[in-house]
A = this chain, B = another copy of it.
Amino acid sequence: MVATDAEHADLAGLMNAVIEHAVAPMHSLGIRVVELRPGYVLGAAPLTGNANHLGTMYAGTLFGVAEMLGGALVVASFDVERFHPTVKHVEIRFRRPATTDVRAEASLEADTIARLRREADHRGKAEFVLDATITDGDGEVVAGTRATYQIRANRPGDTVAAETLDS
């Protein structure tokens, strides 16, 4: 699949609309998608509104900006008419305080996506592990996550936003 830059911009815009309208608390934390295309996602969260009294970013916002990456990658890389993402497990390691806006980045290789598509087609679900890195304004790593997501066949009423589900 080859998309134009304009189509990639639309994909990030679509995901931000999903966040705003379907996951209000994530939107209220200022978490947003900056870049999104099949296999790649870049998210961001502002320090403003997320700082504690010491001027460092709230741990829950760092979690949130990384957690949503897996859902965004599913939206960008799979047929959302047929499948939706769920998150099963997240591990986050805090490396240093974040005292600036942050970015979070993750990617899935094309052959991994192809394998997951085949598996989801065949079994109605597929699972993947995603590593993400959260960096501050100087490019220093402030936290890292490893998360497990599941791609699940839609039932009537399901839509594209991530939900948390039992395995």
Could you list which residues of chain A lie within 8 angstroms of chain B, going by C-beta atoms?
21-26, 28-29, 49-54, 56-64, 67, 86-98, 142-143, 157-159, 161-166
Contacts and interface: CB of A to CB of B under 8 A. Distances in A.
A46 to B, nearest CB: 11
A59 B41 CA distance: 19
Given A54-B163, A88-B93, A94-B164, 20 more contacts: A22-B53, A23-B58, A24-B50, A28-B28, A53-B161, A54-B161, A59-B64, A59-B87, A59-B90, A59-B164, A62-B164, A63-B64, A63-B67, A63-B90, A89-B92, A89-B93, A90-B92, A91-B91, A95-B166, A142-B164
B63 A49 contact: no
Contacts of A58: 23, 25-26
Main secondary structure of the interface of A (DSSP, over half): mixed
The 6 closest A-B pairs by CB, nearest first: A22-B53, A60-B64, A96-B166, A94-B164, A91-B91, A25-B58
